[in-house]
Structure 1
Amino acid sequence: MKPNLSRPPLKVSEIPADHVQLRDGERRSIVCPDCEEWHPLRRGVIWPHRLERTERGKNGPKCGGAARRVDIDIDIAEWGRQVAEADATVRSRRPTQVIRKPKQAPPTPIARLATTTEEAVPVVSKLWTQLEQARAALAAHRDGCTVCRRDKDGKPGARCETGAELEFRESQHAASWDFERKQRAKAEGEERRRERREAQERAQTRSAQWREATDVEAAAVGRFLAGLVRELSS
């Protein structure tokens, strides 16, 4: 197989990371930029292929990207990181599973409220526990998986299907915990502001009542003195 020397080599660094497959242990392949189809990548060239045939019984014309040279000018670990980032972005925009809204539990009857002894665990604590479990599962998988294992610099490389699913779950738990934490902080802030506002209103009410009582007492003293003066003058 002779490489196509009429066209410049196709550089991996200049094409989308998800248009080439360079994982160890798997057959290397690439998306031909001419026909936009996946084809094997062997001996540094795109494997020769033809376009779809136009007439029955005849082969289609040879694709212009057939036997084109491919220059792998990027580190495999860096390529794996780009693939992981692209995959995480797609998963965050379009979940692979439908999350149904859970049914709301019926409220506890009033007669049972006084007999309830078990305190409810805060939602934030539950979400944090779930996040820690998801992180532990992801870390354990990365330590044991040859595909998802980090490189010497501590950066994640390529990911297997299980690793991608665990990372997606971890990101979901992290987002849920962060959202609930912010909502709780917001609610606590509003509660503190409400308490301060009520305290100010009570202080203003007491001050007004004190001024009113003082005015009444002053008026009574004035009337007493006026009556005393009249008695003395008579």
Structure 2
Amino acid sequence: MTASVCEREIETVSRQRKRRARSRTTSPLPPLAVSSLQPHEYDLDPACISLVCPSCRTWVPIRVARTERATAKLVPHHTEPAGTEDPVRCPGSHRLVTIDVTVARWSRRLEEGVAETNGRRSSRVMRKPKPTVAPAVMQIMASLLDATVTRRAYEAHTQGCSACTPSADTHCVDGARFAYLAAHTQRHEPARKAALAKWEKQAECYERSRWCERELGWTKTAGAVRRADVQRAHDALAAMLQSLSPKQADGPQLTDWERADLMSAITTLATRLDQLSR
């Protein structure tokens, strides 16, 4: 009798069971088929089977079915990082998952995608820019000199050189260079003058626009500047008048020279204040 009572007391004590998620809650969202996701958005490795939740775009483990009645679900998870106060439950929690892809097929799709990505390369041809030909020295000087200067330099060289004969069209090396430079500048003189006139006109328009901008800015701030100048002169004049007649009778008195200088400064400030107030 005593043994049966002891067994009954032992059986009534709750046993320690293995922790399992036994929640019957199901998300109202439609079941999620694994085949509708990209291969890189789910992992069918039995050690860590999981997928990317379409609602919050985070990796979530899948509670795999252990019996025939049970179904695969997404475990409950939050949309905020771990440790956040008052986290919000993701609507994709407890969502049913249909695993309609085998592990072999998933591995094969991953291998095909990696091979396709590794074999891909850009088909765009990056052509190197062709280097520009540097202008000759005569071409550089032609843009800096006008026809009159080059013609005078050519005439001065031919007069002092015995080997140069302009009538016979015979020149030395320097004479030939001066002749080419004079002809080149004479031919391009109209274009140079037109370009110079255009540049001067653009520079004049730019300076005029800058001047108008400065005048417009000064017009907007002229009133505030004038009021500030008047207030500054008024404060300085009030300070000088206060020092001229101190409040305490036994205070330090000004000498005749100091009083004369102070009266001159007061007169100058009064004149300036009258000019600013007009």
TM-score by length of 1: 0.35
Higher relative contact order (CA 8 A, sep 6+): 1
Q: Which has the larger radius of gyration?
A: 2
TM-score by length of 2: 0.30
